[in-house]
Amino acid sequence: MAEGITKVDASKMKALAKEGKRISVIRKDYFPKLSYFDVYVTVYGSGGRSAMGVKRMITTRLAALASAKKAEREELAEELQELVMHLYKNHKSNHEKLTQIRQALAE
């Protein structure tokens, strides 16, 4: 569960997701002060997603852009930006870890 989210809110998020609501809709309609990833982590666990899973999410949203209305496109664009930033931050973190490992092995 993401930091600062009550158990009641977490339960509500999970219930809405089980009803089939998208994370972006849950965030926008019920928890607008939270980030997309705060809601995602609360609903789906620790937030440890694979790069392949994020790639699939991005691909799905890009495919949906063509048929989406303007408001939906803006929402999808926001989600895409957050997903790309997630990939970037993970890449940066992994690069830093590899650098530390290489330095430790060189000693």
Which whole number is the average pLDDT over 76-98? 88
Residue 87 pLDDT greater than 70, yes or no? yes
Residue 46 is given by DSSP the state S
Q: What pLDDT is stored for residue 2 in this prediction? A: 60
Q: Where are the domains of the chain?
A: 1-50, 68-107
Contacts of 39 (CB under 8 A, 6+ apart): 2, 13, 23, 26, 27, 31
C-alpha torsion sign, points 97, 98, 104, 107? negative
Which whole number is the average pLDDT over 97-104? 91
- The model's pLDDT over 5-63, given as tens digits with 9 standing for 90+, comes to 999 999 999 888 877 788 888 999 999 999 888 888 888 775 556 677 788 888 888 98
Contacts of 61 (CB under 8 A, 6+ apart): 76, 79, 80, 83
